[in-house]
Amino acid sequence: MPLRLELDRVTAGYGKVEILHDLSISVPAGAVVALLGPNGAGKTTTLRAISGTLPVWRGRVRLDGERVNGTSTYAIARAGVTLMPEGRGVFPSLSVRENLAIAARATPGDSDQRAGRIDFALTQFPRLKERFQQQAGTLSGGEQQMLALSRALMAEPKVLLLDEISMGLAPRIVEQLFGIVAGLRADGLTIVLVEQYLTYALQLADVCYLMAKGRVAFVGEPAELADSEVLTSSYLGVG
């Protein structure tokens, strides 16, 4: 498989504090790559560096072999990288319909094509269709994540970056969300998944990177990682 996304010795941080140190990650086209590791390991920072919301100090981020770091966040998004950030990526005071319309507005094509994308999103997430006129802030946590995910998908990304989509949700809802992600994987979407729920991450991922202190502590297939001592030694109290 050709590499869809590649981080080549990426260094980045906040202010003068270096957080990611020479980080290299390879994401084959169509693969799900999980970034795992304890709080503060640098997982969110890695997704920010990929999406351009945080500048890369040294090294390269390449999409389909082309360097994208150093261009704008907008250019990276247009090139096909979509970040679903930590927390709920919705406008709480706006309706489901308005939330989808705003996401559609950022996509190419005419108004018919945009309306078509909204329709398609609703067929994938029937729950949102039932709540079309409801304020997004009054949806359940799981429904808000579905809305955020449908907003992210509207960009028809080449690479979807998911940052702890299970955060704060009941296990039953998490299971549903991961069912949706599994469907996206089956459709061939390339996904970088940051996840605390190891069970789901290990089930879905083709490759796992275990991060610690801004570096890769381990890389391998889920089974190798599950067998490895490095997992238990680097995690505290994660089930």
Give the CA distances from residue 116 to residues 21, 108, 183, in Å, rounded to whole numbers and listed in that order: 43, 12, 20
Q: Binds 19, which of ligand ADP, Mg ion, none (CB < 5 to 8 A, cut-off by type)?
A: ligand ADP
Using the minimum distance from each CB to Mg ion, give the nearer residue, 43 or 185.
Answer: 43
44: contact with Mg ion by CB under 5 A:
yes
Using the minimum distance from each CB to ligand ADP, give the nearer residue, 29 or 238.
Answer: 238
- Cβ at position 232, least distance to ligand ADP in Å: 18
DSSP structural state of residue 187: T
Is residue 6 within 8 Å of residue 182, measured between CB atoms? no
The alpha helices in 27-79, defined as continuous H runs, are 43-51, 73-79
Q: Binds 109, which of ligand ADP, Mg ion, none (CB < 5 to 8 A, cut-off by type)?
A: none
- Cβ at position 115, least distance to Mg ion in Å: 35
Q: Rule CB under 6 A: which residues touch ligand ADP? A: 14, 19, 37, 39-45
- Cβ at position 88, least distance to Mg ion in Å: 15
Using the minimum distance from each CB to ligand ADP, give the nearer residue, 154 or 207.
Answer: 207
Cα separation of 150 and 93, whole Å? 18
Q: Binds 45, which of ligand ADP, Mg ion, none (CB < 5 to 8 A, cut-off by type)?
A: ligand ADP
Q: Dump strand ranges (E) for the chain.
A: 3-14, 17-28, 32-36, 58-63, 66-67, 81-84, 159-163, 190-194, 207-212, 215-220
Q: Binds 42, which of Mg ion, ligand ADP, none (CB < 5 to 8 A, cut-off by type)?
A: ligand ADP
Using the minimum distance from each CB to ligand ADP, give the nearer residue, 100 or 194.
Answer: 194
- Cβ at position 90, least distance to ligand ADP in Å: 20
Measured between its terminal Cα atoms, the distance across the chain in Å is: 32
Query: What DSSP letter does each residue of 92-139 carry, written as one string?
Result: TTSBHHHHHHHHHHTSSS-HHHHHHHHHHHHHH-HHHHHTTTSBGGGS
- Cβ at position 17, least distance to ligand ADP in Å: 6
Q: Which residues make up the interface to Mg ion (CB under 5 A)?
A: 43-44
